[in-house]
Amino acid sequence: MSLSNIRIVLIQTSHPGNIGSTARAMKTMGLSDLCLVNPKMFPDPQATTMSSNANDILDNAKVVDSLQQAVADCHVVIGTSARHLRTLSWDTFDPRHCGEFIGKQVADNKKVALIFGRERTGLTNEELSFCHHLVHIPTNADYSSLNIASAVQILSYECRMGSVDIQQSSHPLDEEVISTKELEGFYQHLEKVLIEVEFLDPENPRYLMPRLRRMYGRIAVTRSELSLLRGMLSAFQGRKFTRREK
């Protein structure tokens, strides 16, 4: 079922009870893929207690030590934020549109990761810059921060609603969208070329790479588009090299 293509990623969760409640929230909505990045305490009896009967989700949860590992095989990475945001103006979804968007992605057989931050401090700016989109659950402006498992519950519900709608009416792309890992190789190549042509100053990079990441993340690059982009970068490098040789 397409909901199995949705991964819930929790970053450095402090309270094991929240991991258990998250498993329960996921299972009620038919989600099963849980990944924990450096949890403070896991496995833990409190997690098991709070999961109620969703211990299969805890038993199958993957524990990794970086966000990059957690999403390496995913095509779309969506960060969650308790606030409406920071330095860059992100493409921010509300939960309803996020669920519809995710529904389309999973119906096209793409893997989607939803990233949840630390209880006290949320996601770091670096983690946010790794995300292609953001979702914010509209809340009371004076008291905007939900408990993490409550946020998982709301977004899992919207994913369920979004995917049920979409299943009959989807027109999958006939081309495969590349994974985050492949896109990382492209970003490294792009950054190298931009430095070589002196468009990017490594001493003062400003927000160039995060902006470019955001843009490419948003457009869901396909395999043939990636070869085109890599080919163009190699051609730029080749031309520079030839000029120097002369």
Residues that bind ligand SAH (CB under 6 A): 80-83, 116-117, 119, 121-123, 136-137, 139, 144-146, 148, 151
* Minimum distance of ligand SAH from residue 71's CB (angstroms): 15
Q: What Cα–Cα distance (Å) separates residue 22 from each residue in 9, 18, 155, 195?
A: 10, 6, 11, 43
Q: How far is the CB of 88 from ligand SAH (least distance, A)?
A: 16
- Torsion, Cα 156 69 121 15, to 10 degrees, reads 70
Please tell me the distance from the alpha carbon of residue 205 to that of residue 200, in angstroms, as a whole number. Answer: 6
Nearest residue by C-beta to ligand SAH? 122
129 to 3, 64, 161, 210, 239: CA distances (angstroms): 25, 19, 28, 6, 31
Query: Based on CB atoms, which residue is closest to ligand SAH, 144 or 170?
Result: 144
In angstroms, the CA 143 to CA 60 distance is: 34
At closest approach, how far in Å is the CB of 25 from ligand SAH? 12
Give 90 or 216: the residue with its C-beta nearer to ligand SAH: 90
- Nearest distance in Å: CB 11, ligand SAH: 8
Q: Is residue 26 within 8 Å of residue 116, measured between CB atoms?
A: no
Q: How far is the CB of 83 from ligand SAH (least distance, A)?
A: 5
Which C-beta is closer to ligand SAH: that of 133 or that of 136?
136
Nearer to ligand SAH, 46 or 139 (CB): 139
36: β partners: 10, 63
Q: Closer to ligand SAH at the Cβ: 85 or 233?
A: 85
Asked if residues 107 and 166 have their Cβ atoms less than 8 Å apart, the reply is yes
